[in-house]
């Protein structure tokens, strides 16, 4: 496989945290090192309020890591956040979940791991097939 993709749905998070651009920035700035990833740029975080539905507002942010990316989207009025960590190398999934749940003070978390790149060319080469990389 190319790598794991951790998908988190976090419920019951305090609105104060989910609406705070600096708080979300700091989370994305600190998390890569805490889970053994290499940040290759500072996080990019913005507040978004759609004109057609002002209740569907929130904070979105991403940090690119050498291994891929970490992204977060928040819905403060719904006390909900979604977080994705995609990496082309394995990482401590339990630690990542624990750090994010604690930082966002989530009351409930649903999560899953997507296995990305099951037929990624490196696997094809290991099996002796000729594949372009």
Does any domain span residue 79?
yes
What pLDDT score does 84 carry? 97
* pLDDT tens profile 79-102: 999 999 998 888 899 999 999 999
Q: Is the pLDDT of residue 14 over 70?
A: yes
Q: Rg (Cα) of the chain, in Å, rounded? A: 17
User: What is the per-residue pLDDT across 98-130, written as a single tens digit (0 to 9) for each?
Assistant: 999 999 999 999 999 887 766 777 655 555 544
Q: Which two tokens stand for residue 66?
A: 């050498």
Measure CA of the first residue to CA of the last residue in the chain; give whole Å.
Answer: 14
Report the domain count for the chain: 1
Instruction: Assign residue 46 the CATH number of its domain.
Output: 3.60.90.10
Residue 65 lies in a domain: yes
Burial of 24 (0-12, 13-18, 19+ CB in 10 A): buried
What's the rounded Cα separation, in Å, for the pair 73 and 105?
15
Positions annotated as catalytic residues are 68, 73, 88
Residue 12 sits at φ, ψ, to 5 deg, of 75, 25
In a domain, 11, yes or no: yes
For residue 133, tell me if it sits in a domain.
Answer: no
Note down the domain range covering 74: 3-128
**Nearest Cα to 123, choosing from 81, 71, 88?**
88
User: Bridge-partner residues for 47, per DSSP?
Assistant: 59
């Amino acid at each position: 496989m190319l790598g794991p993709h951790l998908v988190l749905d976090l419920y019951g998070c305090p609105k104060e945290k989910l609406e705070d651009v600096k708080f979300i920035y700091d989370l994305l700035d600190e998390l890569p090192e805490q889970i053994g990833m290499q940040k290759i740029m500072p996080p990019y975080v913005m507040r978004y309020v759609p004109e057609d539905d002002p209740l569907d507002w929130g904070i979105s942010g991403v940090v690119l890591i050498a291994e891929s990316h970490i992204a977060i989207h928040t819905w403060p009025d719904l006390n909900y956040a979604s977080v994705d960590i995609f990496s082309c190398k394995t990482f401590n999934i339990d630690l990542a979940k624990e750090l994010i749940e604690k930082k966002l003070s989530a009351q409930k978390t649903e999560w899953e791991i997507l296995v990305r790149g099951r037929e990624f060319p490196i696997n094809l080469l290991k099996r002796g097939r000729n594949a372009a990389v």
